[in-house]
Amino acid sequence: MARNSGGESSGPRAPIVAELGRPETPEETAARKAASSRRYRESKTSINLLVALFASLAIVLVTVMIVVRPAPPPADPVNYSEIASQVQADLGEVVANPQLGSDWVANAARVSTGADGVARWYIGFVTPEKDFAAITQGIDANPTWLATTLEGGFATGTATIAGQDWDIYDRRDGDDIGNFAYAMATVVGTSTIVLHGTATDEEFAELATAVTASMAAGSPASSDSTVSSDSTVSSDSTEETP
């Protein structure tokens, strides 16, 4: 242990700080350590922010790669009239074969038989307004088939279009309605016909008129009959006209 000139001992001498030219005081040492600790915390915070930012960008990129896919090319138009002729010959029953304008594009036409044994003829259309409309015809169908096809919906009104009475199922204000936002159902001979989709009222009226005409034209018993183009629509309630 060193002794000073007066004979008293002294402890280890504090290191001299070059910037100060003397040893640090305890206050200066504490301030220096606090500043160093603060700079360290700030640097860690910046690093953490950068890591979090890159992680977020990576998640967004992966999500975009998974979810955002190029839209598939539109399906080729289907010659449903040709298929309808074949199906009608095979089933021995008149099937809907509506004659519509070129702005109605069929993207599906097929016949199938469900577990209930009911043969169904289906045509799907992209309408002039780029909405969806479809025909589903159940041959020798029963009320259970109709309820299943309509997914349990209840009629909200009736309509008479081209001389044919239809039950209306309007669920456009409902949730999770899919391709049955609007539907129309009628019985022609031994067939139950359902029109459904997201099309406008005017487009459904046009489709219903064409379906009725095609069913009449395909029926030998109706070969001499004519179909009116007039249509009336009514809701569950009726209003008397003065």
The predicted pLDDT at position 108 comes to 94
Give the mean model confidence (pLDDT) for residues 16-38. Answer: 71
Q: Which residue has better confidence, 75 or 69? A: 75
Residue with the two structure tokens 């204000």: 173
* Confidence class for position 183, pLDDT limits 50, 70, 90: very high
pLDDT band at 57 (very low <50, low <70, confident <90, very high): confident
Write out the two tokens for 151: 């997914």
Residue 63: per-residue pLDDT: 73
Lowest mean pLDDT among 30-39, 76-85, 89-98, 218-227: 218-227
d(CA 159, CA 167): 6
135 within 8 A of 122, measured Cβ to Cβ: yes
Write down the pLDDT at residue 66.
66
Average pLDDT over residues 166-174: 91
Q: Which of 108, 81, 86 is closest to 96 using CA atoms?
A: 81
Instruction: Tell me the whole-structure pTM to 2 decimals.
Output: 0.62
Give residue 174's pLDDT band: very low, low, confident or very high (50, 70, 90): confident
**With pLDDT > 70 as the criterion, what percentage of the chain qualifies?**
71
Count of CB atoms situated within 10 Å of the CB of 60: 10
pLDDT at 229 over 60: no
Chain centroid, CA 88 distance in Å: 33
Separation of alpha carbons 25 and 184, rounded Å: 93
Overall average pLDDT of the 56-63 stretch:
78
Tell me how far apart the alpha carbons of residues 166 and 186 are, in angstroms, rounded to a whole number. 5
In the predicted model, is pLDDT for residue 23 greater than 90? no
Residue 76 has pLDDT above 50, yes or no: yes
Q: What is the mean pLDDT of the chain?
A: 79
